[in-house]
Amino acid sequence: MKKLKELLGKSFKVVIFILFTILWSLFVYLIDGEWLYFFPLIVGDVLFWETINWQFWKKKEKKKKKEKSEIKSWFNAILFAVVAATILRTFLIEAYTIPTSSMEKSLLIGDFLFVSKVSYGPRVPMTPIAFPLVHHTLPFTKKTPAYLKWIQLNHYRMKGLGDVERNDCVVFNYPADDALHPERPIDKKENYIKRCVGIPGDVIEIKNTDLYVNGEPQTITKKMRNQFRYFVKTDGTLFSERTLNKYNIYEGQILSRNGDYELILNDESLAAIKRFTYVKKVEKIVIDKGVKVNSPELIFPEDNFNWNLDNFGPIKIPQAGSQVDISADNVELYKRIIETYENNKLEIIDGEIYINDKLASTYTFKMDYYWMMGDNRHNSLDSRYWGFVPEDHVVGKALFIWMSWDKNKNGINKIRWNRLFNAIH
């Protein structure tokens, strides 16, 4: 070892570090301990970078260092911060903002969340060469991709703390984003957040707005605030904006100056509206079973099923390894899974199904799938429109709110103090 050190000189540490990293990676691979791959970063910091005092219990001896230029010092500090933040964001935890009202009033527009990557296991980046700390588009541009497509890795998820469970608030890549941006890889699709109401193997059905899972009503947790659209009629008295805001009613519209309204309400705001003496009628707006409604967004699946937002299913959530009978009557349910998510060639010829040029009457799923819905049931673009969410689209679990900002208020009152550091359920 001494002779090798003399032979290599200043390169000794670098060579030993490279050899250690190769041998360590082989060891980790053999024991299937993938999280241990990060250990060489700690060794590298001890040997070279010295950004962290790993022996904090000892008094650190001051070494005479070569003076660095201020520019070089700033560069090193910024580089370390970017690398550390990228590793943290990719494998551990990421910040996320609620942009739409699809989860009102469980999660509000202006809520800032931390999303755990380790809850379900972090995905190894499918597009490893990308501009750090941004999602899919370079800052200050509208269309310039922040990643290179010519290196693409297959989906792989590291071990996590658990699996996706019913009623988890899950961040995932929007499956139907390929219709708008076909060039984007899976991990660069838009991020959405919804509640997972169906896990692999579950049977989902909606009857007159009520959700049933495996034949039982959905379990409503303490912090869930499901909302629906209601027709409200008064004696002609009009609600003031201040009155509606007092009861956190921000969505809806006035239908006539005679006191007819369409309001989106949860249980609390519904009870408050009913207490007004001048309110004569409150009725949930429900689309009857079998009625197809013309709208810009088509209900999943587009053909053969007369389902709508309020009466949907039953439908079984696909599970990896499970087999389903397919025919011309039900293939629309699974067409996107077979073709897009699991990369097969599917053709329908004379009413017969061909997969990869072979006649097929069954199909075995390669991945697990989930059913995601917003708590704001009548104002949520969710699985009722675009179907199943593949396992490789799942990003992480929403943990807690670290900041909440109300755009309808001014000054210090913009901060919703009562929501800070609330856990998400």
At residue 100, the pLDDT reads 86
Q: Which two tokens stand for residue 62?
A: 């001051």
Edge-to-edge strand order for the sheet containing 369-373? 93-97, 111-116, 394-404, 169-173, 191-198, 369-373, 389-390
327-333: long-range pairs with CB below 8 Å, 24+: 327/353, 327/361, 328/352, 328/353, 329/304, 330/304, 332/301, 332/302, 332/303, 332/304, 332/305, 333/301, 333/305, 333/387
At residue 4, the pLDDT reads 59
At residue 72, the pLDDT reads 75
Mean pLDDT by runs of 10 across the 425 residues of the chain is: 62 74 78 77 72 64 63 78 86 90 88 94 92 89 88 90 94 93 92 96 96 94 88 95 89 93 94 95 94 77 86 95 93 95 94 94 97 94 95 96 87 88 89
Calpha distance 122→83 (Å, rounded): 17
Q: Which of 295, 178, 193, 277 is nearest to 236 (CA)?
A: 277
Confidence (pTM): 0.87
At residue 49, the pLDDT reads 64
In sequence order, which residues have a C-beta less than 8 Å from that of residue 38 and are 6 or more positions away?
87, 91
At residue 8, the pLDDT reads 60
Based on C-alpha coordinates, what's the Rg of the chain?
Answer: 27
At residue 295, the pLDDT reads 66
Q: How far is CA 184 from the centre of its chain?
A: 16
Calpha distance 61→17 (Å, rounded): 23
Q: Are 369 and 337 in contact (CB under 8 A)?
A: yes
Calpha distance 235→337 (Å, rounded): 51
At residue 412, the pLDDT reads 85
Calpha distance 282→391 (Å, rounded): 41
In sequence order, which residues have a C-beta less than 8 Å from that of residue 151 and are 6 or more positions away?
127, 128, 129
Q: Give Cα separations from 59 to 53, 54, 66 (angstroms).
A: 10, 11, 21
CA angle 385, 387, 393 (to 5 degrees): 120
Calpha distance 421→60 (Å, rounded): 37
At residue 303, the pLDDT reads 72
At residue 408, the pLDDT reads 77
At residue 188, the pLDDT reads 94
* Residue 275 φ/ψ region, left for φ over 0, alpha for ψ in the -120 to 50 degree band, beta for the rest: alpha
**HSE (side-chain half, CA atoms, 13 Å) at 232:** 29
